[in-house]
Amino acid sequence: MRALSLFSLTLLGALCGPGVLAQASPDEAALSRVSVTREVRPGVRVPGTPDALNASVTLRYGAPHPRAVLLLMPGYLGGAGSFDRLARQIVALDPSLAVWAVDRRANLLEDQAALARSDRARLETLVRTGLPVRPARELGFLRDWGLDTTLRDWRAAVLEARALTPEVFIGGHSMGAGLAGMYAAYDFDGQAGYRDVRGLVMLDGTPDLLHGREVSAQEYRRGFWSTLGPIAGLDSLNRAPYVDTFYYGPKLASRADAQAQLAQLFPQAPAPPGGLTPLPATNLAAAMMQLEQRYALLPFLTVRTGKATNTLEQSNPLPRLLGAEEDAQTIVGPQSSGRLIGWREDPLAPTDASDFVSRFWTPLTDMVEWYFPQRLTLDVSAASADTRGTPMQALRVWHTAEVTTPVLGIAAEAGVTRESDYRRYGGQLLGRTTVKTLPDAAHLDIVTARGSQVARWVLEWMNGFGPPASGTDHP
């Protein structure tokens, strides 16, 4: 199907009604034709950081000289690949737009070349062992890769987009949505961040997603508890500069990338023994059992695609204790010992499993950030929406009524944000707030869904902006 312009879609909706517009989705061929390049530009210079890592990284979908640019920030532990399907949908629906997906500078630490060179046998080995992990003692500079570094790297890309068009929007998914709100409220040496952009797109996340109260100076140094559990304080960042827990770390991330490639290339073949699951399963099942909402441990790392087959299951209440709305299932073994555990895709589920694993890792990027800086988690948790420059004026976020940025908030019905969260956040701003909910969607579905509803909501909202007012600030 030929990609339609935003004007054409709007006209079609006006003439034929919302039912016709709801069906105007780009096909897979149109998505594959969307051009994409990876751009690494100079970012903010952080003392102690190797020069090559002082970078602003974006994956750019669409025209090099667009009418408008939407810059999207991934969530906690996420990479630019999280937005691959959504970005292609937006650009296929309106080729006059570009979407720039952010890879934070920590993505430059990943040995993606090793994955790109791997054949099937090597991928199977990597699923079991992972790639070598960089020692914490060599990455002490991550201690300074917090909110200020992340937002200033992002701003370098925003200003580059501003040189192309005044129609620049920012947004993000999950924690990335919170970072978009923090960007708007940030003091960039006297220039308020919201003056850089026309509006904010928040996908199942707000600035207070990780924490809902003010953090004291002592907690900031010693650590505290948030939605994610224990948050490392400044005093412990030298010995633990990046996230490395039982559920996530650099080794597990590289293993997941390798398993996703096997699931894409050899979906029905047996998954490597000693890999991500101890159970005899196909590659596709081994990949999806980690994130499918029915089985996943953490509610912020879930997607809805289908269910495993040939299984014996029992209830697992632990995810409910971690914030899930219902009990998950644990697969205790195959129903028939002579067959592999397989995967049955649900055509009515928001996300297609085969499509999901095909986008999890690509030669340009992936959906995860292997070396996620603990400092960023600390700062984002401390700079929640009800704080002002805390603690000790160290974080230059000023959540005040002076922020006049319009907000589009899209919640996943089975995700981590509700429409009331966006209305509460929007009540702190002078800009208008538009709220939507994607039905039946888990947290990750909002950026990976096969349907283009989220893309069309974003385009409809962006199309509602008139031309910039005369005298609009230009940095």
pLDDT given at position 22: 39
pLDDT given at position 209: 82
Of 456, 433, 450, 435, nearest to 10 (Cα)? 456
Cis before 278? omega within 30: no
- Residue 114's Cβ-count burial label (10 Å; 0-12, 13-18, 19+) is middle
Record the tokens describing residue 448, joined without a space: 């990976």
| String of DSSP letters for 291-327 | TBTTT-S-TTS-B-SEEEESEEEEEE-HHHHTT-SS-
| String of DSSP letters for 117-150 | T--HHHHHHHHHH-PPPPPGGG-GGGGG-SHHHH
Mind listing the pLDDT tens digit of every residue in the chain (475 residues)? 333 333 333 333 333 333 333 346 899 999 999 999 999 999 999 999 999 999 999 999 999 999 999 999 999 999 999 999 999 999 999 999 999 999 999 999 999 999 999 999 999 999 999 999 999 999 999 999 999 999 999 999 999 999 999 999 999 999 999 999 999 999 999 999 999 999 999 999 998 887 767 788 899 999 988 877 889 999 999 999 999 998 899 999 999 999 999 999 999 999 999 999 999 999 999 999 999 999 988 877 899 999 999 999 999 887 766 666 677 899 999 999 999 999 999 999 999 999 999 999 999 999 999 999 999 999 998 887 666 777 766 788 886 657 788 999 999 999 999 999 999 888 777 678 999 999 999 999 999 999 999 999 999 999 999 777 654 554 4
| String of DSSP letters for 72-118 | EE--TTB-GGGGHHHHHHHHHH-TTEEEEEEE-GGGGGS-HHHHHT-
Number of H helices, E strands in the chain: 17, 16
Alpha helices in 307-434 (DSSP H): 318-321, 353-360, 374-382, 419-426
DSSP-derived letter for residue 1 is -
pLDDT given at position 28: 94
Contact 407, 425 (CB under 8 A): yes
pLDDT given at position 323: 64
Domains annotated on the chain, with CATH? 6-108+140-221+368-463 (3.40.50.1820)
Q: Is 169 left (phi over 0), alpha (psi -120 to 50) or beta?
A: beta
